[in-house]
A and B are shown apart, each in its own frame.
Chain A
Amino acid sequence: MNEPFCSHAKELIAAYWQRDLSAEDSGRLRQHLESCAECSAEMTALGGLWDRLADLPAPEPSQALDMRWQITMDALSSARPAPRAWLLANFWPRNPAWGMAAAAACLVIGVVAGVNVPRQNPEIAKLRDEVASTREMVALSLLQQQSATERLRGVDYTGRLGNMEPAVVSALTQAVSHDSSVNVRLAAIDALTKASGRPEVLQSLTQALASQESPMVQAALIDYLVDARDRQALGTLRQMASQPDLNPAVLERARFAVQQLSR
């Protein structure tokens, strides 16, 4: 073993794996491997692992990413004014002395303005707003998709929004009432936790409770209304609590909810 060369050999081995080895280095590495069993064994074992890493499947982004990007670009291109000719060039003095004086004046004005004007980059602020509105638009688009998986992604996106805009709340309450997938309905109920204080949400969910058939969704809605202390829902809950043919777990929950909200 030629120890001083071993550490350099490891760099050469890494270069060999990447097919990034010159003919000269290749010869030096071969020579070293013939005399160093340790480096030779490492190269064989780790080289096999390096090759097998290529067999790991490559993940693919979803269509939602393309949609977000398209919306961002649309928003940016509609917001940006068309490039204009630099009008100042027509007024800039031709005389070098006057040009230097004008440049000095611009510098002074720039420094004074830079110190006094509040630092706010409207483009950055706009981009930030665009990102927020992009998420909202993506969430709304996804909630309209045919695939339940995509609609679940849409519900997931609403969780990342800072504020629940009325359009998003409305889409989620619609999902609770009408979505064909129980999973989407349950996820939408969870997502609406952020808007639990809004009367229109409570009203929609109370109506949805009356028309639900899935016991899991019924139970989730009852819990939601109890957590929100929505006494307006008492009528619907009392009606449910008096239906003996209801799912026993839901019936028990409805009775408990009536007790809680009647206090």
Chain B
Amino acid sequence: MRSVARGDLSGMNAIYENRHRPLFRFFFRLTGRQAVAEDLVHEVFVRMIRYRHTYQSDVATPGVFEAWMYRIARNTLADRHRKLRHETTPAEGEMEMIESGRPTPFDVASKRQDLALLYRALRALPEDKREVLVLARFQGLPYEQIGHILGCEANTVKGRVFRAMKELGAIYSDLCKEKAS
């Protein structure tokens, strides 16, 4: 990224190749929509080029690029929310609006009822809690790095992750009871 920040855009293809899938999953788990997640990924890479001068490389600190990229990603998503404040969020089971010709995550999950319930519980979490869980559990980022992205201490992130898990557990338990009755 340092060469890109200096103006050599040829390195962007390698960055895209390595990072577009994790970014897509991040957005997909937050928005639940394939087309929206793809739009957001594209926008993030365009913004990386546009704001490349804001990237401050520091070899001594690992994960600087990830923190920078996810900050752009969060801003991109926040901008989208601002633009589409009145758009409704997809209902449960309404994931993957655009047909991709492949089984959707929801289809696959539906084959195993318990996973389908877990999926629904995750979708039902408030977005800030889902975000911190996605970063920690699905994106596999260390707490220290998530702290840099969210602008807080690593211990605060750990507390938030625990609370998010607790709420997820409560929602999941309710869904299981609902299904059993």
A interface residue numbers (CB < 8 A to B): 7, 10-15, 17-18, 20, 42, 45-46, 49-50, 52-62, 64-66, 68-69, 72-73, 76-77, 80, 83, 123-124, 127, 130-131, 134, 147, 149-150, 152-153, 156, 160
Q: Is the CB of A56 within 8 A of B122?
A: yes
B158 touches A14 (CB 8 A): yes
B149 at the interface (CB under 8 A from A): no
Q: Which residues of A contact B10 (CB under 8 A)?
A: 77
Q: Are A57 and B108 CB-contacts (below 8 A) given A49-B165, A49-B172, A64-B38?
A: yes
State which of A50, A53, A77, A134 has its C-beta within 8 Å of the C-beta of B9. Answer: A77
Say yes or no: A58 contacts B25, CB within 8 Å: yes
Question: Which of A11, A127, A156 has a CB less than 8 Å from the CB of B35?
Answer: A156
Q: What are the residues of chain A within 8 A of B172 when measuring CB–CB? A: 49
Question: Which residues on the A side are within 8 Å of B142 (C-beta)?
Answer: 18, 20
Partner of A10, one of B20, B157, B162: B162
**Contact at A65–B159, with CB atoms within 8 Å?**
no
Q: A50-B165, A59-B24, A59-B28 are in contact. Are A65 and B137 (CB under 8 A)?
A: no
Bound CA–CA A5/B108 (angstroms): 41
Closest 5 CB pairs of A and B: A11-B158, A14-B158, A10-B162, A61-B24, A149-B101
Q: Report the minimum CB–CB distance from A59 to chain B (whole Å).
A: 5
Q: How many residue pairs, one in A and one in B, have C-beta atoms under 8 Å apart?
A: 138
Which of B45-53, B60-68, B69-77, B82-90 lies on the face that meets chain A?
A: B45-53
| A10 to B, closest residue via Cβ | B162
Query: A58, A61, A73, A150: which contacts B101 (Cβ < 8 A)?
Result: A150
Q: Is the pair A55, B9 in contact by a Cβ cutoff of 8 Å?
A: no
Q: How far is B19's CA from A69's CA once the two chains are assembled, in angstroms?
A: 13
Within the assembled complex, what's the spacing in Å between the Cα atoms of A55 and B133? Answer: 15
Q: Chain B: how many interface residues by the 8 Å CB criterion?
A: 59
A62 pairs with B38, CB closer than 8 A: yes
Cα(A147)–Cα(B96), bound, Å:
18
Q: With the chains together, A58 CA to B109 CA distance in Å? A: 10
Cβ 8 A contact of B138, one of A7, A53, A61: A53
- Selected from A17, A80, A127, A150, the residue in CB contact (under 8 A) with B50 is A127
Q: How far is the CA of A83 from the CA of B8 in the complex (A)?
A: 8
B22 → chain A, closest Cβ, in Å?
A: 10
Question: Could you list which residues of chain B lie within 8 angstroms of chain A, going by C-beta atoms?
Answer: 7-10, 12-13, 16, 20-21, 24-25, 28-29, 34-35, 37-39, 41-43, 45-46, 49-50, 96, 98-102, 104-105, 108-109, 112, 114-115, 118-119, 122, 133, 136-138, 142-143, 155, 157-159, 161-163, 165-166, 168-169, 172
Contact yes or no, B100 A18, CB < 8 A: no
B105 adjacent to A57 (CB under 8 Å): yes
Q: Which residues of B contact A131 (CB under 8 A)?
A: 42-43, 46
Give 30 A-B contacts (CB < 8 Å), ordered by A residue.
A10-B159, A11-B155, A11-B159, A11-B162, A12-B158, A14-B136, A14-B143, A14-B165, A15-B158, A17-B165, A46-B169, A49-B172, A52-B114, A53-B118, A53-B138, A54-B137, A56-B109, A57-B108, A58-B105, A59-B25, A59-B28, A59-B34, A61-B20, A61-B34, A62-B38, A69-B16, A72-B42, A83-B7, A124-B50, A131-B42
- How far, in Å, is A232 (CB) from chain B's closest CB? 35
CB neighbours of B24 from chain A (8 A): 59-61, 65
Across the interface, which residues of A come within 8 angstroms of B50, CB to CB?
123-124, 127
Residues from chain A with Cβ under 8 Å of B119 in the complex: 56
A65 touches B38 (CB 8 A): yes
Q: Distance (Å) between the CB of B43 and the closest chain A CB?
A: 8
Residues of B within 8 A of A7 (CB): 159
Q: A60-B102, A61-B24 are in contact. List 17 more A-B contacts (CB 8 A).
A: A18-B136, A49-B168, A56-B105, A56-B109, A56-B115, A59-B29, A61-B21, A61-B41, A62-B34, A66-B20, A73-B12, A73-B16, A147-B101, A149-B99, A149-B100, A149-B101, A156-B35
In chain B, what residue has the closest Cβ to A46? B165
In the assembled complex, how far is the CB of residue A64 from the closest CB belonging to chain B, in whole angstroms? 7
A153 touches B98 (CB 8 A): yes
Which of these, A10, A42, A76, contacts B49 with CB under 8 Å? Answer: A76
